[in-house]
Each structure stands twice: as structure tokens, then as C-alpha cells.
């Protein structure tokens, strides 16, 4: 089926929108994208020349710019084919296999692999960012906690599209600082990851922390301390009474003279 429609999916909002339709219809085509490393960020759609509507530009490759929502034509692929594969490596496309028409209604396999160089190859996209986000993890720390609920607090040096933490091998998507609830007793491993709008992924240091039972209240120590206090009080009273007795004896001797 020929198509002149463009639907855009936003992974952040989980919503679809309609974009500018391509300049010509295409069928049984393939698409690939340049990342900005060696060429401007674009989406390339490869399709059959046979599906180009009469009077339109017979371009075999259609190029979409997501920044201004506009289409242009790229250079034709050397071989007109369909049911082929497309892959991109370092912003260079490779069109692989497929079939070609040998006569109206007939087709033959095409064991031809062709390299396609995108527009402006060799010049990185001005908006290309090759620096991953930097994360600073404040909590938890490499220590022992006597609670099953531990605060997860961190900071990122740039806006991110997605943030996750990996706790004991399980990834969880979060929107910011949170609380790790219901942790089991034992040793845990935690790393936080963040992805920016350029697709770069940064990670925090890996923290190893332990959840342990709360230490019991030291009742023996309290009892010992209480016993020592009683002994001190008893000794004080004994000295007091001895002093009183000594004074009474001294008065008795004095009175005798």
C-alpha cells in the first residue's frame, strides 16, 4: 500500500502526533536515521521508484528533518528494488538485498549490497552532544542501615529524558529523588543512570550498602549501671553515718573532761 503519511511518537509523553507528509508516496520501503556524529540528524526513507506518483519528483530517497518538520529528496539509490534491508553504521547507510522488477509482474532476487552516503556527511550536527550526564549520588552510602526504607537522593548536571536506578540487577524508572522501600535484610548494590536528549547515558558510582536488624537495647548495661549507682549511694550513706558516729564520740570525750 502506498503511503503519504507521517506519524510522530513522543516516548516521553507516550503520545502520537501528525507530521508533514512525505513529498511522494512509497511502498515496501525502509527507513534509517543519522545520529549527528558524522552528518546532520535526519530520517532517510528508502522506497520504490515505481511508486512515485506521476508528475512528482522521482527521488528514490526522501529525507525528513525533525527540527523543522520538512522533507527533501536525497540522491537516488543506484538500484531500484523493494523488500530490502537498511542499516546505518557511523551515519552511513547500507541497502541490502531485496528484489527488482525484470518485467511487469515479474521480479528477481537482488544480491546487491550498496552503500549510501547521507547529505553533508563528514560534518557533525551542530547540536550533537557526545557528553553523558554527570550524576552525584548522596544517598544511600557505603554503610549499614538499620531500617528497610532508605532515601535515594542524587543530582544530575543537565536535563534528562529518562532516569533509572538499578537495584540488585533490577531497573526502575524514576522522575527524581525517591525512597527505596521495603528493602530486604542483607547486602544491596545500587547504581543510578540518566539519558540526555542526545542519547548519551551517564551513571553514578555503584554503592554497596547493607540492611540489618536494629541493634537491641543494651538492658544488661543499664542494669549494671543501675547497680553501680546503688553501690555508690550505699557507700555514701555508710561514710555519712560513720562521720556522725565519730563526731558523737568526740563530743562524749570532750564532755568527759
- Residue 253: its pLDDT value, please? 34
In this structure, is residue 234 part of a structural domain? no
In this structure, is residue 56 part of a structural domain? yes
Name beta bridge partners: 9: 16
Of the residues 82, 116, 150, the one at which a domain ends: 116
- Residue 184: its pLDDT value, please? 97
Give the domain range for residue 205.
Answer: 135-211
Cα diameter, the chain: 152
In this structure, is residue 155 part of a structural domain? yes
Same domain, yes or no, for 101 and 48? yes
- Residue 238: its pLDDT value, please? 52
Phi then psi for residue 25, to 5 deg, are: -75, 160
% residues pLDDT > 70 (the chain):
73
Same domain, yes or no, for 91 and 157? no
CATH code (residue 161): 2.60.40.10
> C-alpha 152: how far from its chain's center?
15
Kindly tell me if the per-residue pLDDT of 171 is higher than 90. yes
- Residue 94: its pLDDT value, please? 93
Same domain, yes or no, for 82 and 143? no
Q: How far apart are the C-alpha atoms of 110 and 98, rounded to whole Å? A: 5
In this structure, is residue 154 part of a structural domain? yes
Cβ-based neighbours of 4, under 8 Å, separated by 6 or more? 21, 22, 24, 25
What's the pLDDT band for 103 if we cut at 50, 70, 90? low
In this structure, is residue 220 part of a structural domain? no
Kindly tell me if the per-residue pLDDT of 5 is higher than 50. yes
In this structure, is residue 232 part of a structural domain? no
- Residue 179: its pLDDT value, please? 97
Same domain, yes or no, for 68 and 158? no
Q: Which pTM does this prediction carry?
A: 0.53
Kindly tell me if the per-residue pLDDT of 65 is higher than 50. yes
Q: How far apart are the C-alpha atoms of 18 and 34, rounded to whole Å? A: 21
pLDDT digits (tens, 9 = 90+) for 135-152: 999 999 999 999 999 999
In this structure, is residue 187 part of a structural domain? yes
% residues pLDDT > 90 (the chain):
39
What's the domain count of the chain? 2
pLDDT digits (tens, 9 = 90+) for 198-224: 778 999 999 999 999 987 666 555 555
Same domain, yes or no, for 39 and 140? no
Q: For residue 241, what is the enclosing H or E element?
A: helix 219-256
Burial 28-40 (b: 16+ CB within 10 A, else e): bbbebebbbebbb
Q: Could you tell me what percentage of the chain is helix, strand and coil, using 3-state DSSP and rounding each to the nearest 5?
A: 15, 40, 45
Same domain, yes or no, for 32 and 110? yes
The CB density around residue 250, as the number of other CB atoms within 10 Å, is 10
Kindly tell me if the per-residue pLDDT of 49 is higher than 70. no
Provide mean pLDDT across the span 124-138: 87
More confident residue, 178 or 47: 178
In this structure, is residue 158 part of a structural domain? yes
Cβ-based neighbours of 210, under 8 Å, separated by 6 or more? 143, 144, 145, 186, 187, 188
Q: How far apart are the C-alpha atoms of 74 and 39, rounded to whole Å? A: 13
Distances (CA, A) of 141 to 23, 134, 138, 190, 203: 56, 18, 7, 10, 16
Same domain, yes or no, for 108 and 139? no
Amino acid at each position: 500500500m502506498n503511503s503519504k503519511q507521517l506519524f510522530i511518537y513522543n516516548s516521553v509523553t507516550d503520545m502520537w502526533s501528525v507530521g508533514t507528509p512525505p513529498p511522494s508516496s512509497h511502498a515496501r520501503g525502509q527507513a534509517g536515521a543519522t545520529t549527528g556524529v558524522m552528518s546532520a540528524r535526519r530520517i532517510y526513507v528508502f522506497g520504490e521508484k515505481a511508486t512515485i506518483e506521476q508528475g512528482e519528483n522521482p527521488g528514490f530517497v526522501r529525507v525528513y528533518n525533525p527540527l523543522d518538520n520538512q522533507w527533501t529528496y536525497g540522491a537516488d539509490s543506484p538500484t531500484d528494488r523493494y523488500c530490502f534491508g537498511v542499516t546505518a553504521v557511523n551515519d552511513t547507510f547500507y541497502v541490502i538485498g531485496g528484489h527488482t522488477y525484470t518485467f511487469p509482474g515479474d521480479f528477481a532476487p537482488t544480491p546487491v549490497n550498496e552503500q549510501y552516503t547521507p547529505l553533508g556527511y563528514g560534518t557533525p550536527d551542530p547540536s550533537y552532544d557526545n557528553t553523558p550526564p554527570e550524576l552525584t549520588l548522596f544517598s544511600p552510602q557505603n554503610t549499614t542501615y538499620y531500617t528497610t526504607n532508605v532515601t535515594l537522593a542524587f543530582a544530575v548536571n543537565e536535563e534528562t529524558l529518562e532516569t533509572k536506578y538499578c537495584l540488585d540487577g533490577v531497573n526502575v524508572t524514576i522522575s527524581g529523588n525517591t525512597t527505596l522501600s521495603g528493602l530486604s535484610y542483607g547486602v544491596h548494590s545500587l547504581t543510578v543512570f540518566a539519558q540526555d536528549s542526545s542519547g548519551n547515558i551517564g551513571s553514578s558510582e555503584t554503592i554497596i550498602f547493607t540492611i540489618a536488624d536494629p541493634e537491641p537495647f543494651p538492658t544488661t548495661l543499664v542494669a549494671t549501671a543501675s547497680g553501680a549507682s546503688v553501690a555508690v549511694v550505699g557507700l555514701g550513706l555508710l561514710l555519712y553515718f560513720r562521720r556522725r558516729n565519730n563526731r558523737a564520740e568526740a563530743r562524749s570525750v570532750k564532755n568527759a573532761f
